[in-house]
Amino acid sequence: MADSLPHGPRAARVARMTVRSVLASHGRPEIVEAVELLTSEMVTNTYLHTNGPASLRLTALADGRLRVGVWDSHPRIPAPFGRPPHDHVPLAPTHVDRGRGLRFLQQYADCWGACPSARGTFVRRAGKLLWFEVCG
C-alpha cells in the first residue's frame, strides 16, 4: 500500500490515520502504537526538512514483519539511516524538544535503513526512501 502525503503540518496526522486504518483492517493491533509513533516521527521530519512531495508505503513481509517506508524528494540520507542497522548513534538528551525520533526508532524498530531512490522506482522523482521494520 502506498499513499501520497500532503506537504504541511497535517502530514503526520494523515500518516497516523492511514497506519491505524491499514493495521486494523489486517488484524495487527499489537503493533499500532509503535508503528504510528515511528511513522509520525519520520513524516514530521520529512515535512520539516524537505520542500517537495512525500509518500508513505506499508509492506507486509512474508515472515510477519511490517516494513514502513517514507519517501521524499530530498537526496540526503540522515545519520541514523545511513549507518548499519543497530549501529547506535548518540541520542538527544531527554529534556530537549527535538531529536527524540532516533530514541524512539532505536527503542521500537527491529531494524531500519535507507536507500537513494532513482526516478521511477517509487515515484516520478528521485530522492530517498527511509524505512523501518517491526515484528508482531
Note the pLDDT tens digit of each residue in 15-67. 999 999 999 999 999 999 999 999 999 999 999 989 888 999 999 998 999 99
* Burial category of 35 from C-beta neighbours within 10 Å (exposed 0-12, middle 13-18, buried 19 and up): buried
Q: Taking the domains of the chain in order of start, what are their residue ranges?
A: 2-134
Note the pLDDT tens digit of each residue in 63-119. 999 999 999 988 888 877 776 555 665 666 666 666 677 778 888 999 988 988 866
At 22, list the grid cell: 491499514
Architecture per CATH, 2-134: 2-Layer Sandwich (3.30)
- One DSSP character per residue, 8-33 reads STTHHHHHHHHHHHHHHHTT-GGGHH
Measured distance CA(73)–CA(87) in Å, rounded: 25
Q: For the chain, what is the largest distance between any 2 Cα atoms, rounded to a whole number of angstroms?
A: 41
